[in-house]
Amino acid sequence: MAYLQDSTYGKNNVKFLKVKRDPANPQIHQVMEATVRVLFTGGFDVSFTKADNSVIIPTDTIKNTILVEAKQTEVFPIERFAAHLVKHFIGKYGWIETVTVHIEQVKWSKYEVNGQLQPHSFVKNGDEVRVCDLFAKRDGSFLLSGGVKGLTVLKSSGSMFHGYNVCDYTTLKPAWERILSTDVDLKYKYDSSKIGSIDQILKLADTGLFDKTFESSLKITLDRFALENSASVQATMFNMASDILETNSYVYNASYTLPNKHYILFDLSWKGLKNENELFYPSPHPNGLIKCTVGREPVAKL
Ligand X SMILES: O=c1[nH]c(=O)c2[nH]c(=O)[nH]c2[nH]1
**Known binding-site positions for O2:** 260
How many residues touch ligand X under the rule CB under 6 A: the total is 7
- d(C-alpha 13, C-alpha 123), whole Å: 22
- Taking the least distance from each CB to ligand X, the nearer of 233 and 254 is 233
According to the binding rule CB under 6 A, does residue 172 interact with ligand X? Answer: yes
Choices 20-28, 32-40, 76-84, 226-234; region in contact with ligand X by CB under 6 A: 226-234
What sign has the CA pseudo-torsion 239, 240, 246, 251? Answer: negative
According to the binding rule CB under 6 A, does residue 260 interact with ligand X? Answer: yes
Active site residue 84: no
Binding residues for 5-hydroxyisourate: 60, 161, 178, 233-234, 260
According to the binding rule CB under 6 A, does residue 247 interact with ligand X? Answer: no
According to the binding rule CB under 6 A, does residue 174 interact with ligand X? Answer: no
Choices 146-154, 209-217, 230-238, 293-301; region in contact with ligand X by CB under 6 A: 230-238
Binding residues for urate: 59-60, 161, 178, 233-234, 260
According to the binding rule CB under 6 A, does residue 232 interact with ligand X? Answer: yes
Active site residue 11: yes
Among candidate residues 18, 59, 87, 110, the one labeled active-site is: 59
According to the binding rule CB under 6 A, does residue 161 interact with ligand X? Answer: yes
Indicate which single residue of 83, 233, 237, 294 sits in contact with ligand X (rule: CB under 6 A).
233
According to the binding rule CB under 6 A, does residue 258 interact with ligand X? Answer: no
According to the binding rule CB under 6 A, does residue 264 interact with ligand X? Answer: no
Choices 26-34, 103-111, 141-149, 232-240; region in contact with ligand X by CB under 6 A: 232-240
Active site residue 262: yes
According to the binding rule CB under 6 A, does residue 287 interact with ligand X? Answer: no
- d(C-alpha 143, C-alpha 135), whole Å: 5
Tell the smallest beta-carbon distance from residue 223 to ligand X (Å).
19
CA angle 91, 20, 200 (to 5 degrees): 35
Please give the residue ranges that form the binding site for ligand X (CB under 6 A): 161, 172, 232-234, 260, 288
Residues assigned a catalytic role: 11, 59, 262
